[in-house]
Amino acid sequence: MMSTESYRLPVAQPLTEAYIHQSDARIEELYGYYAGAVSDWERRYRSLRDLTPTRANAADVAESLRIYQAKWGASEETLANIAAISEGAPVVIGGQQAGLWTGPLLVIHKAVSIINAAKSASEQLGTKVVPVFWIAGEDHDWDEANHAYVITADQELKKLAAARPEGPRTSVSRTGLTPEAWEQLIVDLEQSLPHSEFKPHMLEKLADLSGPSSSLSDMFAGLLSHLFGGEGLVLLDADSPEIRRLEAPMFRKLIERNDELERAYLSAAGKVKSFGYTLQADVVPGSANLFLFHPEKGGERTLLHKKDGSFQDRKGLSAWSAEELLHFADKQPELLSNNVLTRPLMQDYLFPVLGTVLGPGEIAYWALTGEAFRTLGMEMPIIVPRMSYTLIEGTIAKNMTKYELSFADVMERFDARKEAWLKEQDGLAIEEKFGAVKASFEEMYKPLVDMAASVQAGLAKLGETNMTKILEQISYMESKTVDAYNKQFEASIRQFDRIAAAILPASKPQERVLSMVVYWNRYGDAWLGKLLDAPYDRTGGHEIVYL
């Protein structure tokens, strides 16, 4: 029996909110298609066939995917999907940075959304639609990728992190991790997580995967392959040499038509602002929207800016001509890398993208890319909002029932509900009695302050200060009395705090903080099956999944 319920999670991005709920007719010109319109899926599918000549060769792309996936022993389902790609099958794609042990739960939610969106589209169109996960291994933000948060046996939130090795600030996929580093991370995890029947198998699997993993991206791919191989999820690392070689003609186009693309991004940014929305990605005049792995600085990932007819680093210390960059594109494409605004174009060059699964922030910045797509004779795919979920364990659900807490109570007013519950337990009316004493004291003392001030005006301020100090002391005594009284409710307070740690860790939604290893440790594979079986909506949504 599937146990779920829906909840409308507020969207922090007004532009994304407007897209999901179609509440602003103007934004159609930013996005084109709409995930919630059934006919748009048919329309995009037809248009993909017309755009085939603008894309990379499907058989070559499939071959590079086979080579990459072989490292993890690709499942039969995944190999069948790669074969379908070689024959031109459309894809639903989404991606994320390669976090430690897949990073926060939202990464898993994205993979589940990609798989379910592909299934949904396959059913509608009567054709194979392949789920693809784009590992953004070219990103260089180590501190964003290097950690995982777990809940310890003592119900504490703990961060486990891999230290960045010495060397240049290059991509996560090119930042090596030693076997000793992996070993230490697994020891830390073993010591942090509570014991369970699934823990030994999980740790063994992580140790097995760390063998062939020379980077966070490798481990990330190995884990996704293990978790979603049965669903046929196809993986690629944006920084793999095989993919880079296929991207060479598109890099050439991005360099040759860079000024036109820059104008397109600036124009779209102007439109977004004129509609009253804030920009979710930097659109900087003079930016090439491309990175170069600096050949003379050990492959440091360097954002390129256009100045004085050349492409330079931020400080203007290194410069390359357009001809030099075109030479790199042709002969050493692994030296080039996309940024957030050119990645969508590259993705659409490699694959017949029916839809792309995006989180709220991504949907907002993709609004900046529509004109760039059109500049290159391409078309933005259907934007498919990622589903999000909250996993609620049995003990947590039981405690929520015990304290009459709804999911909305925990998400929106937890501290107030906890305080209110504690006040209800106050059989001594502590707050009321101390309040009465403070009011009574003020009433008796005020005339004395007035009398002193009439004797000497300067005493008024002293009297007010004196009164404030005495009231502060009474309040201090009150808080000490409340603390002492609440000691008898310590077990209940712990239960409240456990609810918060599980659903709103660090005062943030669960999906943004906790690692999936918390649930793998407790439930084996069962938790993932429940996510895959939860209700799916093409326009996103939030499902509460009871484990």
User: Total structural domains in the chain?
Assistant: 3
Q: Which two tokens stand for residue 384?
A: 């498919």
Do 149 and 186 have their domain in common? Answer: yes
64-85 b/e (C-beta count within 10 Å ≥ 16 → b): bbbebbeebebbeebbebbebb
Q: Is residue 259 part of a domain?
A: no
102 domain residue, yes or no: yes
- Indicate whether 28 and 174 sit together in one domain: no
Q: Is 299 part of any domain?
A: no
| pLDDT, position 180 | 96
Instruction: Tell me the C-alpha distance between 61 and 63, whole Å.
Output: 5
- What's the confidence (pLDDT) of residue 99? 95
Beta carbons within 10 angstroms of residue 138's beta carbon? 27
Q: What is the pLDDT along the chain (547 residues), one digit of tens a residue?
A: 457 788 887 788 999 999 999 999 999 999 999 999 999 999 999 999 888 888 999 999 999 999 999 988 899 999 999 999 999 999 999 999 999 999 999 999 999 999 999 999 999 999 999 999 999 999 889 999 999 999 999 989 999 999 998 888 899 999 999 999 999 999 999 999 999 999 999 999 999 999 999 999 999 999 999 999 999 999 999 999 999 999 999 999 999 999 999 999 999 999 999 999 999 888 999 999 999 999 999 999 999 999 989 999 988 889 999 999 999 999 999 999 999 999 999 999 999 999 999 999 999 999 999 999 999 999 999 999 999 999 999 999 999 999 999 999 999 999 999 999 988 887 788 888 899 999 999 999 999 988 998 999 889 899 899 999 999 999 999 999 888 887 888 889 899 999 999 999 999 999 999 999 999 999 999 999 999 999 999 999 999 999 9
Q: Which residue, of 196, 216, 236, is where some domain finishes? A: 216
Domain boundary among 216, 235, 258: 216
Evaluate whether 196 touches 522 at the Cβ level (below 8 Å): yes
Q: How far apart are CA 348 and CA 8, in angstroms?
A: 31
- Give pLDDT, residue 386: 98
Alpha carbons 493 and 419: distance in angstroms, whole number: 10
| 99, 117: one domain | yes
User: How does strand 353-358 pair with strand 91-96?
Assistant: parallel
Q: Which position has the token pair 């400080």?
A: 315
Phi/psi-derived region of residue 130, left when phi > 0, alpha when psi is between -120 and 50, beta in every other case: beta
Q: Indicate whether 291 belongs to any domain.
A: no
Do residues 153 and 97 both lie within one domain? no
449 and 400 within one domain: yes
519 & 463 share domain: no
Residue 422 within any structural domain of the chain = yes
Cα–chain center distance at 243: 24
Contact by Cβ (8 Å): 255, 325: yes
Strands 319-320, 541-546: pairing is unpaired
Question: Is 431 within a domain?
Answer: yes
Residue 163 belongs to domain spanning: 144-216
Average per-residue pLDDT for the chain: 94
DSSP secondary-structure letter at 515?
B
Sheet holding 387-392, edge to edge: 4-7, 541-546, 387-392
Is residue 411 domain-shared with residue 502, that is, in the same domain? yes
> Regarding beta strands 234-237 and 130-135, do their DSSP bridges make them parallel or antiparallel, or are they unpaired?
parallel
- Asked if 70 and 179 sit in the same domain, the reply is no
Residue 263 lies in a domain: no
The H or E element that residue 160 is part of is strand 157-161
CA 18 vs CA 259, 276, 384: distances in Å:
30, 12, 14
Cβ-proximal residues to 229 (8 Å cutoff; 6+ apart), any chain? 74, 75, 77, 78
* Overall pTM > 0.85: yes
Q: Are residues 454 and 506 in the same domain?
A: yes
Q: Could you give the CA distance from residue 235 to residue 220 in angstroms, rounded to a whole number? A: 10
Residue 1: per-residue pLDDT: 42
Instruction: Name which of 517, 502, 546 is nearest 198 in CA terms.
Output: 517
Q: Checking DSSP bridges between strand 287-294 and strand 300-307, what pairing results, if any?
A: antiparallel
The answer on 179 and 162 residing in a single domain is yes
DSSP string, 278-345: --SS---TTEEEEEEEETTTTTEEEEEEEETTEEE-TTSSSEE-HHHHHHHHHH-GGGEEE-TTTHHH
* HSE-up (13 A, CA, CB side) for residue 504: 15
Instruction: Say whether both 131 and 188 belong to one domain.
Output: no
What is the pLDDT, as a whole number, of residue 11?
A: 80
Q: Any residues with CB less than 8 A from the CB of 508 and at least 6 apart, and which? A: none
In angstroms, the CA 105 to CA 298 distance is 33
- One-letter amino acid of 430: I
Query: 231 and 181 in one domain?
Result: no
pLDDT at residue 293 in the model: 95
Beta-carbon contacts of residue 195 (< 8 Å; ≥ 6 apart): 153
Question: Which of 165, 200, 216 represents a domain boundary (last residue)?
Answer: 216
Location of structure tokens 């008024």: 460
> Per residue, what are the HEC states of 193-239?
CCCCCCHHHHHHHHHHHHCCCCCHHHHHHHHHHHHHHHHCCEEEECC
Residue 386, Cβ density class (10 Å: 0-12 exposed, 13-18 middle, ≥19 buried)? buried
Give the whole-angstrom CA distance, residue 331 versus residue 377: 25
Query: For the purposes of burial, counting CB atoms within 10 Å of the CB of 17, is it exposed (0-12), middle (13-18) or buried (19 or more)?
Result: middle
> Does residue 126 lie within any of the structural domains?
yes
